[in-house]
Structure 1
Amino acid sequence: MAGEWEAKFSQWAQPPGDTEEARIQNAIKGIRDALDADAKLKSTTRVFVQGSYRNRVNVRQDSDVDIGVLYTGSTFYPEYPQGTTDETFGNSESAYSVQEFKRQIYGALIARFGTSGVTWGDKAFDVHANTYRVDADVVPLFEHRRYNTDGSFLCGVELRPDSGGRIINWPEKLYPHWPAQHYEYAVSKNEATRRAFKGVVRILRKLRYVMEGEGSESAKDIKGFLVECLVHNAPNENFAHGSWEKCVRAVLCYLWSNTREDATCQYWCEVSQLKYIFIGQPADQRAKVNKFLLDAWSYIGIVP
């Protein structure tokens, strides 16, 4: 059985093949060309690839690519220390609205792909797939600034869904004055583990898809991004084994053992090291993670 799983894991650890890669690149180029055709967007945005493809942990079931469109004008969204306001740091409200930015992006996309080729969603524009390109989520983003009391700040990105609220992410060090974020820490972990980190992430993401496809409720509760963040918290020695099966076994053992109680995982961070996995999330998230890890163990025949 171990040899059977080793063969599967060796395959799952690899990124998608050349054909899928070409369709991904076609989608990225088409969207960049569409946005560059709008003079204002070309001069006030930075287009970048994010998510599982950018971080090289995508698997074939990841059928789309995430493309961020960051507004680079004067508008940003702050997060202030308690008891401080715009006035504390000399900031003021911007006249440029989120909806105006979204309308401009939408116009550029339908000019290239047509109204039938683009769907305006709550968080992103869905540019539909065809035989030439994969499905793409185009995400309008603004700079997010997390302020310290001394006026210094950390920069990330902020998404404003149409349904309300704010989603703050830390995808990559897009500018020299930005801190290291998800992409940089993932690369560092991968190098420190001789590329085993991203291989194990792909394996567990693929395993989650397989389990979900067979009706696993616990797998449905866990997203691929969360899998990557969990694996990043496993110590490097867990990846220092002579086979994928042994690495997966060691990582699952560590993650399952340490998510049984809040005390051993409450301060675990996302890959960016700028956001907690469990603090600030629904109270049952840790229990759902632990159940998925236990089910994953059972699925591949490992007894805790």
Structure 2
Amino acid sequence: MADDEPVDLNAWATPPGPFRLSWTEEVLRDALKYARRIEERPYEIFLQGSYANETNIDESSDVDLVVLLKLPFEENVDALDAHDITNFNERYEQDPYGWRQFRAAVIASLKESFFVHEGDKTAGIQDWDSLVRVPADILPAIEYRLYSGFPSPGHEIYEEGVFFRNGAQQPIVNFPKQHLARGRKKDFDTGRRFKQVVRIVKRLRRWAIKNNEMTKATIPPYFIECFLYNVPDGIYRSDTPAQAADGAIECLYEWCHDDRPAFEALPCQNGLIPIFGDGPDQWEAGRGVSAIDALSEAWAKLPK
């Protein structure tokens, strides 16, 4: 039976307390420098996921960090003409070093300083002396470039993403920096309502799982954020977070049932990858409809 205790939706919209993410990032950076396995390679460390997007609902949830090799990189040059391809080939040479070697070097470096659990995509770390305040998931990746132009050897136009492989060695491309930037703009354009609603719906998911209204597999938090990103800004400009959440859930429900083609064409928050497709990080459209139905039913049952 569902929990009948009324929930405070204003509290659900509020982020948890502040957390010094820099502590985790600095400890990771120091560990990689100490091991000296990748010091000759240009790399970057940055946050992704709910902490970076400020949509986390727990202070203790894992921090997601990317260790990104900058050169060499993976590329998509399908949009380039013959002239641009020539410029690309003049600018860059093949390098046998790639994602597999970089990932192996990063994992070996982490093992010198942390307890490491290797997962399907990331390596989970915990610090021996608790300097890392919460567990962290580390994604070793290499830069991915989605080219739209290369008019001269010194002038290239592309979107920067990340490339890695899962445990089945399927290639995965994502664009976490664009996801972050577009989420920030959406939040600003909606008077800070967008991220409030994301937190509410993430907590709705947790409530529904606790009360056996859905399972964790029904809808991952990442897709909650992507679906809600596509809701028109005007729906979020409501008097309260609860009203905005109600409008957003209703919008998604009507979308998937009344305009299925538009629903199936929705992009991820990064604006570059469709939510639905046959890629290893994409969804089947029918599963998306089932997820929206489950969220709508849970919202109707939630004691407010």
Identify the TM-score tier after normalising by the shorter chain. 0.7 to 0.9
Structure 1 residue runs without a partner (length 5+): 173-180
The alpha-carbon deviation at position 277 of structure 1 amounts to 1.4
Q: Any conservation in 2 of the 1:125–1:138 contact (CA below 8 Å)?
A: yes
Ranges of 4+ aligned residues in structure 1 off by more than 6 Å:
82-85
Pick one of 184, 189, 192 that aligns with 2:186. 189
One-letter amino acid of the structure 1 residue matched with residue 144 of structure 2: H
Distance between the aligned counterparts of 1:232 and 1:158, measured in 2? 23
Does 2:29 match 1:32? Answer: yes
Partner residue of 1:167 out of 152, 172, 175: 172
Which stretch of structure 1 is more off in the superposition, 188-197 or 287-296? 287-296
Once superposed, what is the RMSD of the aligned Cα atoms? 2.8
One-letter amino acid of the counterpart of residue 221, structure 1:
T
Q: Which runs of 5+ in 2 are unaligned?
A: 152-156
Deviation at residue 123 of structure 1 after TM alignment: 1.1
C-alpha displacement at 1:26, in angstroms?
Answer: 3.3
How high is the TM-score relative to the length of structure 1? 0.82
Find 1:285's aligned residue among 278, 284, 287: 287
Specify the code of the residue in structure 2 equivalent to 1:138.
Answer: I
Letter of the aligned partner of 1:271 in structure 2? Q
Tell me, in whole angstroms, the C-alpha distance in 1 between the residues paired with 2:255 and 2:38: 46
Whole-Å separation in 2 of the counterparts to 1:194 and 1:265: 25
Deviations 1:219-275 (A, max 9, x none): 532011111111111111211222222111111111111012422312211111111
Q: Is the alpha carbon distance of 1:82 and 1:195 closer, same or farther for their aligned partners in structure 2, counting shifts above 3 Å? A: closer
Query: Cα–Cα, structure 1 residues 250 and 301, in superposed 2: closer, same or farther, change >3 Å?
Result: farther
Following the alignment from structure 2 to structure 1, what is the Cα–Cα distance between the partners of residues 286 and 59? 27
How far off is 1:135 after superposition?
1.2
Equivalent position SS for 1:230? helix
CA distance in 1, matches of 2:60, 2:94: 38
CA deviations 1:180-223 (Å, max 9, x no partner) are: x1111111111111111101101111111221122233653201
Match of 2:154 in 1: none
Conserved 8 A contact 1:212-1:220: no
SS class of match (1:72): strand
Matches of residues 124-203 of structure 1 in structure 2 within 5 Å?
A: 124-128=122-126, 133-148=133-148, 152-172=157-177, 181-203=178-200
Distance in 2 between residues matched to 1:92 and 1:163, nearest whole Å: 29
In the alignment, the residues of structure 2 paired with residue 94 and residue 285 of structure 1 have an alpha-carbon distance, to the nearest angstrom, of 40
1:111 aligns with 2:108: no
Q: Residues 19-98 of structure 1 correspond to what in structure 2 (within 5 A)?
A: 21-22=19-20, 24-39=21-36, 41-42=38-39, 44-60=42-58, 63-73=61-71, 75-81=72-78, 89-90=88-89, 93-98=94-99
Instruction: Give 2:269's aligned residue.
Output: 271
Of 228, 233, 255, which residue of structure 2 is paired with 1:231? Answer: 228
Structure 2 Cα separation of the partners of residues 107 and 204 of structure 1: 38
- Structure number with the bigger relative contact order (C-alpha 8 A, sep ≥ 6) is 2
- From the superposition, tell whether residues 129 and 296 of structure 1 become closer, same or farther in structure 2 (CA, over 3 Å): farther
Q: Which amino acid aligns with 1:77?
A: E
Identity within the alignment, %: 26
